[in-house]
Amino acid sequence: MGSYSASAQRLVDDMKAAALADPARGLAFQGAPGANSDLAAREYDANSLPLPCYSFEDAIDAVRDGRVDRAIIPIENSLHGRVADIHFLLPESGLHIVGEHFLPIHYGLMSRDLGPVTRAMSHEQALGQCRKWLRAHNISPVAHSDTAGAAAWVADSDEVGLAALAPPHAAGLYGLTLHGTGMEDADYNMTRFVVLAREPLAGAPAEVPLMTTFVFEVKNIPAALYKALGGFATNGVNMTKLESYQVGGSFAATKFYADIVGAPGNEAIDRALEELDFQTKSLRLLGTYPQARLRP
């Protein structure tokens, strides 16, 4: 477990006390107050009490241990791809996906005005999303565990030329000068978050379009993936996401993370999942939840 800088810790203590006192409203997120995940939590549920956690593991543990009822975790970004390690953490967490949220991502450059900015600190995902802008302005990237945490670090630092790339409103939270916004390299920068809980969603209204997320491991045989996915094609099930990842370091056991439109209980989906289960070594459903954005 890491620690926050002094400026962030003061805010963390207040938010933690509120969330832990009302677990049903508590919504854990990774990062310091003012991070994109904090914004996502407040947008997803305006009545929530966001709980800052230093790492993804800490946020997941807060739900698993019953300190709060839910966590909101970024899973992929439209510019930078999937969030590192999240495909490992979700299946291992034992939690269920009960919702999703899409957050447009914008960054501001902020500092204490201690000379011209020569270095910008932020999360590696944010640095990657602003790579072209940083290079064009001859600003060196400095990795930090969190965007808003970087802003808090800069607020507590006397280093000349050091700035943070963080959500613009973080400048006000930490008393920094906002030098500009829109440092992201594309205006379609968007992050998808999933909401996790100890129990699966009890049920959604029939008229609400649903998504189902699962992971599976293919057999080590020729055409294993082709055989595993055939049931989705023959049953007309739309798979909107399929990503592979390695487990165990052997380069032999390949797992896949997938999203499909719809939910178990639908005859076509049940047939497709039954075929998938037959053709794979393992299959685990991670959750069925309402679509935050309609897929075809």
Using the 8-state DSSP alphabet, how is residue 83 labeled? Answer: P
245 touches 87 (CB < 8 A): yes
126 touches 109 (CB < 8 A): no
For residue 152, CA distances in Å to 18, 54, 105, 113, 176 come to 21, 13, 19, 14, 9
133 touches 187 (CB < 8 A): no
CA distance 251 to 216: 16
Q: How many CA atoms lie within 13 A of 131 on its CB side?
A: 6
Q: Tell me phi and psi for residue 150, to 5 degrees.
A: -65, -40
Q: Which amino acid is at 81?
A: G
Collect all residues with Cβ–Cβ distance below 8 Å to 3 and sequence separation of at least 6: 9, 54
CA distance 191 to 175: 26
40 touches 29 (CB < 8 A): yes
Within the chain, how many helices (H) and strands (E) appear?
Answer: 10, 15
Task: Out of 29, 56, 147, 193, pick the active-site residue.
Answer: 193
Using the 8-state DSSP alphabet, how is residue 237 labeled? Answer: -
CA distance 213 to 46: 25
Task: Out of 56, 147, 191, 213, pick the active-site residue.
Answer: 191
Active site includes 214? no
Collect all residues with Cβ–Cβ distance below 8 Å to 234 and sequence separation of at least 6: 272
Active site includes 193? yes
CA distance 264 to 285: 10
Query: Among all residues, which ones are annotated catalytic?
Result: 191, 193
